[in-house]
Structure 1
Amino acid sequence: MRQVVSLLLVLGQVLFVASSTDQLMTNRGSSKQPLFSQKSKTKLQILYRLCLSKAPDFVYATARPSNQSMPHKFSLVILEINSGSFFVELERVDQASGWDTMITVDWFLYTGIALVHGKRMFWLPDLSGTKTMNQEQSAMYCTNRGAELADIADKETYKLIYNHIAEYHMYNTKIRSYVHAWLASKYNPQTRNVTQSNGEPGFNGDGKWRQPSYPSSSIDNTVLAVRVRYYDSQDGGLLNFPPRQALRACTVVCSMKLLPNL
């Protein structure tokens, strides 16, 4: 019989709670328990210790020895997600043997509509409304929600974020059929290089600029936005503007790490 061990939750943090316009609820937590296994694999039940009305839409978790000086390394696969707990298969991967030590499982969950990619979560805090905003105002919108304005690292991330906006933002087509979203990335009009907010290279367009006017060569156009058109993908794409320029019909794409130590 496969043994299922309940882990005791020792830390839980509510990051964001849904309201009438904010459609996402997120939580983080950590669970610790002395754990013995004769084999390299075992199954665990991890309790949220939260009052959830339904199972989360997404759960991410990692496992580590609570004593960081221990050599143990673990892989973790989520098997089942329920409203009160989730089940995982834990495997020791630094060597094919069991263990007898305290294990910490760090987890993150959300309920609502979001995109997970590259160990980060991206989401639209407002799925229907639009605003007139510059990049600084857009960044503050995310900061007030414990998050960051989204960066785009590569073409794959661009496609995922573009399609996420196109699918989930509820356009008011009687007023306009497009929406803008500011990015945290910086653009150098002279070198045509893009730099993410963490200093690493970012996605520099690669055929995804809004044609025919972008990228602009003006030395003032140093921040990026993406335009998503409801019915015409050819009208969408990357744009570069001055930092303080206010754009109409803005939505906001926020981002956060699934776990702080990732």
Structure 2
Amino acid sequence: MIGRESQQFYSYSTKSSIKTKIGYKMCLSSVPSYIYATVKATESSLPHTFNVTVLDVKESYFEVELKRTDISEGWNMFVTVDWNMYTGDFLVVNNKAIWLPDVFTVSTDLNRENAAIDCNKREGQLVEIADKRSFKLVYNYVRNNFQFEKQEFVDFWLGSSYNILTSQVTQSNGEHGYNEGWHPGGWPKNQLGRTGLIIRVASPDLRRDHGMGNLDPFNLHTVIKLCALEID
């Protein structure tokens, strides 16, 4: 799903911006779904700074526009371009790529820590929900992409936590998280230890029994895997 590459090359421009094509170092079987790139002067003592805009993505290369941002002048030097490429079906929300590592695997018994470790192994983290828009996007992504087969619903862990004393949701970065969309069965539960958060997603054929819930994060819970990765 994710590939990371870096390339150093000589670059010259008489203007403050230039378009250039960058070839991959690996053979791909399909066109990447998304590429995020950065560029810097290879010689770190130089003052040059750049913005990068990805213009087009092909199976063997991608095209970018490099624009100098420290001053409106050209350059004549070596630059280093670093990029992440993403393949497959995923969702971009608030500069994070969100994906299902396996859309076919039945649910697995995991506590929140083990779910987070699994995402870390994939260079990601557990998903956070910041607002109603994010909730709807993530919910619908799982609903439309996971192969439910005979399962009426699936759950997945969030990275956020719930405070049973203040009734507040907090993301792992300390910012407030989404505090609506609760499961209609009397959630959230104000019981000791229920500080972990899940989202239950109903299958496309079912329009009930879904929403957010709070559980003990140290207890095993039957979940699918959903991960997120910063893309900038």
Q: Which runs of 5+ in 1 are unaligned?
A: 1-24
Corresponding residue of 2:26: 50
Corresponding residue of 2:35: 59
3-state SS of the aligned residue for 1:160?
helix
1:1-262 to structure 2, matched below 5 A, reads: 25-129=1-105, 130-173=107-150, 176-198=151-173, 200-205=174-179, 207-230=180-203, 231-233=205-207, 235-248=209-222, 250-258=223-231, 262=232
Counterpart CA distance in 2 for 1:181 and 1:103 is 42
Kindly indicate whether the alpha-carbon contact (under 8 Å) linking 1:155 and 1:203 is maintained by their aligned counterparts in 2.
Answer: no
3-state SS of the aligned residue for 1:141?
helix
Q: CA 1:253–1:88 in 2, change beyond 3 Å: closer, same or farther?
A: same
Kindly indicate whether the alpha-carbon contact (under 8 Å) linking 1:61 and 1:106 is maintained by their aligned counterparts in 2.
Answer: yes
What's the CA shift for 1:233?
A: 4.8
Letter in 1 for 2:123: G
Q: CA 1:233–1:77 in 2, change beyond 3 Å: closer, same or farther?
A: farther
Give deviations 1:144-197, integer Å, cap 9, x for gaps.
333222222333322221111111001123xx3111001121111111222222
3-state SS of the aligned residue for 1:161?
helix
Counterpart CA distance in 2 for 1:165 and 1:144 is 21
Counterpart CA distance in 2 for 1:204 and 1:87 is 37
Kindly indicate whether the alpha-carbon contact (under 8 Å) linking 1:150 and 1:254 is maintained by their aligned counterparts in 2.
Answer: yes
Higher mean C-alpha displacement, 130-139 vs 40-49: 130-139
What's the CA shift for 1:232?
A: 4.3
3-state SS of the aligned residue for 1:70?
coil
Letter in 2 for 1:166: R
Counterpart CA distance in 1 for 2:140 and 2:113 is 24
Q: TM-score, normalised by structure 2?
A: 0.90
Identity of aligned residues (%): 34
Q: CA 1:148–1:44 in 2, change beyond 3 Å: closer, same or farther?
A: same
Higher relative contact order (CA 8 A, sep 6+): 2
Letter in 1 for 2:97: M
Counterpart CA distance in 2 for 1:123 and 1:239 is 21
Q: Which runs of 5+ in 2 are unaligned?
A: none
Letter in 2 for 1:236: H
Kindly indicate whether the alpha-carbon contact (under 8 Å) linking 1:152 and 1:202 is maintained by their aligned counterparts in 2.
Answer: no
Give deviations 1:51-88, integer Å, cap 9, x for gaps.
11222122111222233443323222212211211111
Give deviations 1:73-121, integer Å, cap 9, x for gaps.
3222212211211111111233322122322211111221212233322
Counterpart CA distance in 1 for 2:207 and 2:74 is 53
Kindly indicate whether the alpha-carbon contact (under 8 Å) linking 1:182 and 1:224 is maintained by their aligned counterparts in 2.
Answer: yes
Kindly indicate whether the alpha-carbon contact (under 8 Å) linking 1:179 and 1:227 is maintained by their aligned counterparts in 2.
Answer: yes
Counterpart CA distance in 1 for 2:38 and 2:207 is 38
Kindly indicate whether the alpha-carbon contact (under 8 Å) linking 1:190 and 1:219 is maintained by their aligned counterparts in 2.
Answer: no
Counterpart CA distance in 1 for 2:175 and 2:8 is 38
Supply the RMSD in Å over aligned alpha carbons. Answer: 1.9
Letter in 2 for 1:143: N
Q: TM-score, normalised by structure 1?
A: 0.80
Letter in 2 for 1:177: E
